[in-house]
Chains A and B, each alone.
Chain A
């Protein structure tokens, strides 16, 4: 158990809908990261937040957005869902604010499996 929790574990929805995935980081961790794991794209970095502020963006679609709240939990919002958004969404957390040239160990949650029908 990494200490990172994600809810829900599974989510089934229809095309065009909107869903919210939730992540609670490990106690003491200030950075939260979101990743998408799909069969065709593999594991891809989406976005990072540090202490409530967006720090870095990866291959995140405009239909997707995220935020980190004062209690440090984070939510990933996916809207206008398409079949291709079906994937496993991971949240990870780390202690520090990592940036170019510095790093910190990321601990991953169990993931939320999203199925879009």
Chain B
């Protein structure tokens, strides 16, 4: 069975500071991994994805994620957070059926 765990329910970070969101997955084969962001009242926007190849993946809005098979992780990072990054972030794994983590809410303080 496939599943995703996002250990952090809520993270608060200062504007300009770095951000790292954790994601651990369980999947039977080569995982297809995604990070989505949901702003209040909005839909899910794809930040980045990993299908194969380079384990460091670049996405939109300055985000990147690193796939580590040995740790079953796909952590999301951003070097310098902007106030507009305040949102809920979801990690997902799967092929046709995506399994999502519970999400991490990011608050950015001035």
Q: Are B43 and A103 in contact (CB under 8 A)?
A: no
Question: What's the Cα separation between A102 and B101 when bound, in Å?
Answer: 21
Interface range on chain A (Cβ under 8 Å from partner)? 20 to 34
Q: How near does chain A come to B37, taking the closest CB pair, in angstroms?
A: 11
Question: What's the Cα separation between A98 and B97 when bound, in Å?
Answer: 9
Q: How near does chain A come to B81, taking the closest CB pair, in angstroms?
A: 23
A-B contact pairs, 7 of them (CB 8 A): A43-B98, A43-B100, A45-B94, A102-B95, A108-B43, A108-B45, A110-B43
Residues in A with CB closer than 8 Å to B1 are none
Q: Are A56 and B96 in contact (CB under 8 A)?
A: yes
B63 within 8 A of A: no
Query: Which residue among B32, B51, B98, B101 has the maximum number of chain A CB atoms within 10 Å of its CB?
Result: B98
Q: Are B43 and A98 in contact (CB under 8 A)?
A: no
* Partner pick for B98 among A2, A45, A101, A102, CB 8 A cutoff: A45
The residue on A at minimum CB distance from B42 is A110
